[in-house]
Amino acid sequence: MPDTLSVRQVRKAKVYHEIVAQLKELIAQGRIKPGDRLPPERELAELFRASRNSVRDALRVLEQMGLIESRQGDGTYVRSVSPEELTEPLALLLLQSRNQMHELWEVRRLLEPAVAEFAAARATEEELAEMASILEAQRRKVEAGFLALEEDTAFHELIAQAARNTVILRVMDTLVDLLRQSRERSLQRGDRPALSLRGHLRILEALRRRDPQGARSAMLQHLREMEEQALPEDEL
């Protein structure tokens, strides 16, 4: 951790909010790294020109966010935050905001058709066989009246893997995590599980033909159908 931190003097109204904001910014910038020990409350109060109570409140908020942890007798440390800890609160926020959920679907419609296009040219025969196996398991569950959420997710993840692009794979992992809760909700609507399966089968057919444009079109059609189920007009 740096010997000195460059911070701004905070305003008196809601002082601890500003301390939280500045410490989060320092963590995001890498000025304070996971594993670093924060200065004691007294030093932080001097840095921010704020009361120790305000510093204590700010540290409590940061600990509730999971960004720091207090170790008895050893001080307060910056935590390493896992992707799951970051995406789960964001997923909850998205579920509460129709507009933000719509924006997330826009991102999917921009990204996933291109992912399918890459996968059509790059997927191995083994990956195509695994996709077929996943869809067969999905078919059995759908016919038995189950949601088949795991198979729905696994199919999209395998397409991202088959695209052979590590950046795309990481982005898709985040999208899958964000959409997991909305998928479960929308899968309970009418014939959505069967509609999802039909879309997946069209995508797989294009992938097997090694048809990049066909795979792109099939994925885009699938996503549009699923978005209509996830965000029906009567919820506007």
> CA-CA distance, 53 to 60, in Å (whole number)?
10
> CA-CA distance, 100 to 151, in Å (whole number)?
25
Strand partners, 70: 76
Candidates 146, 135, 149; CA nearest to 199 is 135
Asked whether 218 and 206 are in contact (CB, 8 A), the reply is: yes
Which pLDDT belongs to residue 17?
86
Question: Which pLDDT tens digits describe the chain residue by residue (236 residues)?
Answer: 555 666 665 554 578 888 988 898 888 778 888 899 999 999 999 999 999 999 999 999 888 888 899 988 889 999 886 555 554 554 545 555 556 777 888 889 999 999 999 999 999 999 999 999 999 999 999 999 888 888 998 999 999 999 999 988 888 887 776 666 556 555 656 678 899 999 999 999 999 999 999 999 999 999 999 888 777 554 43
Which pLDDT belongs to residue 234?
40
Which pLDDT belongs to residue 192?
86
Which pLDDT belongs to residue 188?
59
Cα dist from 75 to 40, 43, 183, 218, whole Å? 7, 13, 41, 55
Cα dist from 20 to 42, 88, 149, 155, whole Å? 16, 21, 38, 40
Domains of the chain: 15-78 (1.10.10.10), 84-235 (1.20.120.530)
> CA-CA distance, 196 to 140, in Å (whole number)?
13
Q: What is the pLDDT of residues 124-151, one digit of tens each?
A: 999 999 999 999 999 999 999 888 888 9
Q: Give the type of residue at 62.
A: L
Which pLDDT belongs to residue 136?
97
Asked whether 168 and 115 are in contact (CB, 8 A), the reply is: yes
